[in-house]
Every structure is written in structure tokens, then in C-alpha cells.
Amino acid sequence: MVKSSTPIWVLIFSFLFGFEKPRFLLIVIIVIMVTGVVLTVEGETKFDGIGFSLVLTASIISGLRWSMTQLLLQHEQLGIDNPIATLYYLSPVMFITMLTLSLTFESPFEQFQHSKHFDTLSHVIESLGLMSIGGLLAFAMTLAELSLIKNTNTVTLSVAGISKEIVIITLSVIIYGDVLTHKNLLGLFVSIIGIIAYNYYKLSKNQENNQYQMIPLHSNTHSTPSVMTGRNLED
């Protein structure tokens, strides 16, 4: 449930970096969506202080990471405003970091020796094939996320992430027969309402930004048509 707070941290860092202006309505919408996600995934669990701290730290860093990614993608002077270029420079760092942590804490080679997924040649081929498919899908998803950030912002990405969570939960019910309580269903409904509200908010904001469009005015003479904005017309 703590991980569900990521959109809030994304919003906070968007305010700090100047990507979004603090608006009460936007804050309310994000809080509604986060509340819905918390209700959807709520279940009995044993509280652990260290685990809570780690997950909370991960959520905060996730919000900071996406905001810094938006900073890279939307500022051409930094030179890596292309999603492919961003992956090109960031992937090696992420790979080395994850590999180091895996070798330190997970002992993957010992896992391979005792895993039934690598005990025969056919299982090795099957496992590597599934891993490759997952890797390609993850690569495509990352490119889509970076493209979304470049063309919109991190808040929109976090809302898309909530939509993804709803799809995953729905598929788990359909495919695996997971049972949702009334509270979980309420959370699902609240999340959907929040997503609809955010889309309406973005649509209204875009219409507000485009309300003063360039309107050509042709004079009675044969002079060159002038161009005035809606604000000038009001003046």
C-alpha cells in the first residue's frame, strides 16, 4: 500500500521542478486516485518498520527519478531529449547497479544450479526464451513511458501507471480467479473516477490554454491580412 503513494511524490516533485503549477483540484484528483489504489490492494499484512522505510524511500526516489527524466527529455540543450538516447545513456548504469545488487544479495548462480527451470537443456531454452520476451516487452514499455513523459509530463505517466494497476487487478480476477472484497471493489471504482476526473482536468486545461487562437482578419483594403489573438479582440 505504501508503494501506492508514488503518484503523490511524483506530483510533489513536479511542483518542485516547476513542471506543474500547484492547483488544488489537481491535488484532490491525485489523492482520490491514490486512495482508490490503496483500497483496491488493501489486505491483511504484518507491519515491518524496515520494510516500510525501504518501500517509502523507493516511492520517493521513484517520484524524483521520473521528474529528473522529464527534465532530461524536455530540455534539448542537455543533448538527450530523445527516448532512445536516454535509454542509451541510462541503461548501462542501471544494468551495472542491478547486476551488482543481484550478485551481492541473491546469489543467482547458486539459484541456477538448483532451479528446476535450468535443470535440462529444454528448460534452459524455455526459460531464456521467456526472459527474452519479457525483456523485449519491458524495453517497449520503457520506450513508451519515456515518449509519454517527453510529450506530456510525469503526472500523466503516474495516472497511466494507476490505469495499468487496474488492468492487472482485473486480469488477475478474470484469469486467476482472485477474489476482491467490497472494499477492494470500492477502491477500484474510486480509482476509475479519479482517472476520469484527471482526463477531464487535462482536457479543460488544454481548452483554457487554447482559448486565444490566432484569427486572421482581412481588412476592406487590399493590404496584408493582420493576425490578432482572441485577447486583442476583446481589447
What are 38-85's pLDDT values in tens digits? 887 776 567 677 888 888 898 899 889 889 888 888 877 767 778 888
Residue 234 forms part of a structural domain: no
Residue 215 forms part of a structural domain: no
Residue 165 forms part of a structural domain: yes
* Structural domain boundaries enclosing 200: 2-209
Residue 232 forms part of a structural domain: no
Beta bridge partners of 227: 216
Residue 214 forms part of a structural domain: no
pTM for the model: 0.73
Number of domains in the chain: 1
- Highest average pLDDT, of 128-132, 206-210, 214-218, comes from 128-132
Maximum separation of any 2 CA atoms in the chain, in Å: 88
Indicate the burial class of 7 (C-beta count within 10 angstroms; 0-12, 13-18, 19 or more): buried
DSSP states of 49-102: HHHHHHHHHHHHHHHHHHHHHHHHHT-GGGS--SHHHHHHHHHHHHHHHHHHHH
Say if CB 166 and CB 190 are below 8 A apart.
Answer: no
Residue 216 forms part of a structural domain: no
**Separation between Cα atoms, residue 178 and residue 33, nearest integer Å:** 22
Q: Which amino acid is at 35?
A: T
Residue 227 forms part of a structural domain: no
Residue 224 forms part of a structural domain: no
